[in-house]
Amino acid sequence: MRIKWVGYFFIGFLAFLLIRTTFIAIVMHREYFTAATEQRTTLIPASTAPRGIIYDRNFFPLTAERAPHTIGYVRGGTGMGLQKIFDNYLKIDDLSFLLTAGLAVETAANGTPIAPTATLFRSASTRKGVHLTLDYRIQEIVQDALSARGDSGGAAVVIDAETGDILAMSSTPVYSPEDIAASLGSSGGEFVNRAIAAYDVGSLFKIVTTSAAVEEGVATPESRYNCVGFTSVSEHVFHCNNRAGHGELTLAEAFSLSCNIPFFEIGTELFGKGKNLYNYASKFGFGERLLDVEMDEAAGNSVRSKSMAEIANTAIGQGDFQATPLQIAAMIGTVVNGGKRVPLRLVSGLIGDDGVTETPYSEPRGEVRAIKPKTAETIKSMMLEAVQSGTGKNAMIEGVDVGGKTASAETGWLGDDGTTMTHGWFGGFFRHKNTMYVCVVLAEDGKTGSGSAVPIFSEIGRGITSM
């Protein structure tokens, strides 16, 4: 009798399980599948069209929300960024995709697949995509730090100096990926990727000038100069930022305090010896596009100056010379990498339909020896000094040694308040957990580098060192 009841219980239990399983498989499958998919890929927004994924270095999906200018968008044949560049690759032919994904596809007598109705499965199980060097977490830190200036124009780039991998690249103001039309009507330049646009760079060019001076034996960090606030070159008067003059100081002190006088003298002396600053600039990567992918990247302006006076002006970064924040990052990366410029990389490979197979995207490019290791070490020490006791003081990050250079670049553009715009810059480096990070921040109309770009740099540095 008891055994019979146990039997009934089992049969009842099995029936319950069967009904429940059937209910899950037939009625609830969409919800369960979506939930499971969302657990794996919470970052992918629901998409109506099946499309490949853009992955970060650790295979987290990256959307335009996180990196609007780099990821970009495609709408009705137009667009920008990687979504536009890789549009053909990311597009998915519905039927062939379903076959590769291993889903049941009904076929006609001649073998032609008949489109199934399981539309939910398509975009959800797509694994094909583009694998980037960007790091989702760093991109988030950089984007948030840069947004602190609201809708002001700005850019920030983080690279791994030793591998050349671009870890983050941000630009403000941002367009709304959810409402492209609204941003298209705006005059704020939301679609300009400022990280790869050309700007006046001001004192950051002194890294090139100092490298050339040390390499050519024209000066050492201990060389002494006297700043009385101005100097004249070929009957042109050039001023220091400090009109009262810094007095007697070494080259290292001038670099650290952003005094201009030694650099005018170095520029003219190199020019007199037939040594051109632009040769050094081009070895650092200026005047060429550095990305491994065809984006709207500016090459910058590295036109050769003709006269002694023009060279003097260029030596402090106030001539026609222009460069992108990405190029500045490559220059600092070269300095901290022993004078060797490693090619930058944004796209590491294309991921096949199986979601695993990766093919390299571009041919490996060679490294460039820009300056000797000893020269690089000297410049690096001067950049460390500039943060220890110079204009970059507030760039210090607890627990790591930071080196860097501030710049305030006069542009000649008129700002909203009718005064001439001066862009604030900071380019610096620090080592954390075996990675040598280089971070460059540009703050359009930021007046001074120390007041506008340095706080953003330290915010990014604090974020990265607490990762």
Rule CB under 5 A: is residue 252 a binding residue for Zn ion? no
Q: Is 250 helix (H, G, I), strand (E, B) or coil?
A: strand
Half-sphere exposure of 40 (CA within 13 A, CB side): 10
In the complex, the smallest distance separating the C-beta of residue 379 from Zn ion, rounded to whole angstroms, is 20
Shorter beta-carbon distance to Zn ion: residue 242 or 301: 242
In the complex, the smallest distance separating the C-beta of residue 237 from Zn ion, rounded to whole angstroms, is 14
Q: Kindly state the greatest CA–CA separation across the chain.
A: 118
Q: Near Zn ion by CB under 5 A, which window of 208-216, 253-261, 354-362, 443-451? A: 253-261
Q: Near Zn ion by CB under 5 A, which window of 38-46, 125-133, 255-263, 363-371? A: 255-263
Shorter beta-carbon distance to Zn ion: residue 85 or 240: 240
CB–CB of 450/391 below 8 Å?
yes
Rule CB under 5 A: is residue 240 a binding residue for Zn ion? yes
Shorter beta-carbon distance to Zn ion: residue 130 or 261: 261
| Interface with Zn ion: number of residues (CB under 5 A) | 6
CB–CB of 52/63 below 8 Å?
no
In the complex, the smallest distance separating the C-beta of residue 229 from Zn ion, rounded to whole angstroms, is 7
Interface residue with Zn ion among 259, 309, 323, 351 (CB under 5 A) is 259
CB atoms within 10 A of CB 70: 27
Shorter beta-carbon distance to Zn ion: residue 259 or 441: 259
Rule CB under 5 A: is residue 227 a binding residue for Zn ion? yes
CB–CB of 62/137 below 8 Å?
no
Rule CB under 5 A: is residue 122 a binding residue for Zn ion? no
Shorter beta-carbon distance to Zn ion: residue 99 or 257: 257
- Counting DSSP H helices and E strands in the chain, the numbers are 17, 17
Rule CB under 5 A: is residue 206 a binding residue for Zn ion? no
β-strand 129-132 against 53-55: which pairing, if any?
parallel
In the complex, the smallest distance separating the C-beta of residue 264 from Zn ion, rounded to whole angstroms, is 10
Rule CB under 5 A: is residue 246 a binding residue for Zn ion? yes
In the complex, the smallest distance separating the C-beta of residue 257 from Zn ion, rounded to whole angstroms, is 7
Residue with tokens 């302006």: 301
DSSP codes, 302-320 = -PPP-SHHHHHHHHTT-SS
Q: What are the phi and psi torsion angles at 428 (to 5°)?
A: -145, 180
Q: Near Zn ion by CB under 5 A, which window of 17-25, 80-88, 260-268, 346-354? A: 260-268
CB–CB of 24/71 below 8 Å?
no
Q: Near Zn ion by CB under 5 A, which window of 208-216, 238-246, 262-270, 436-444? A: 238-246
Rule CB under 5 A: is residue 442 a binding residue for Zn ion? no
Q: Near Zn ion by CB under 5 A, which window of 57-65, 121-129, 195-203, 259-267? A: 259-267
CB–CB of 339/369 below 8 Å?
yes
In the complex, the smallest distance separating the C-beta of residue 249 from Zn ion, rounded to whole angstroms, is 7
CB–CB of 372/216 below 8 Å?
no
- In whole angstroms, give the CA distance from residue 155 to residue 129: 27
Question: What are the Cα distances from residue 138, in Å, to 134, 168, 358, 419?
Answer: 8, 6, 23, 35
Q: Near Zn ion by CB under 5 A, which window of 70-78, 106-114, 261-269, 451-459? A: 261-269
In the complex, the smallest distance separating the C-beta of residue 240 from Zn ion, rounded to whole angstroms, is 3
In the complex, the smallest distance separating the C-beta of residue 317 from Zn ion, rounded to whole angstroms, is 15
Q: What are the phi and psi torsion angles at 269 (to 5°)?
A: -65, -40
Residues in contact with 382: Cβ distance below 8 Å, sequence separation at least 6, in sequence order:
210, 221, 252, 255, 256
CB–CB of 425/441 below 8 Å?
yes
In the complex, the smallest distance separating the C-beta of residue 261 from Zn ion, rounded to whole angstroms, is 5
Residue with tokens 């050492």: 220
CB–CB of 35/44 below 8 Å?
no
Residues 373-432 that bind Zn ion (CB under 5 A): none
In the complex, the smallest distance separating the C-beta of residue 384 from Zn ion, rounded to whole angstroms, is 21
In the complex, the smallest distance separating the C-beta of residue 246 from Zn ion, rounded to whole angstroms, is 4
Shorter beta-carbon distance to Zn ion: residue 138 or 227: 227
Residue with tokens 């053909």: 88
Shorter beta-carbon distance to Zn ion: residue 240 or 440: 240
Rule CB under 5 A: is residue 283 a binding residue for Zn ion? no
Which residues contact Zn ion (rule: CB under 5 A)?
A: 227, 240, 242, 246, 259, 261
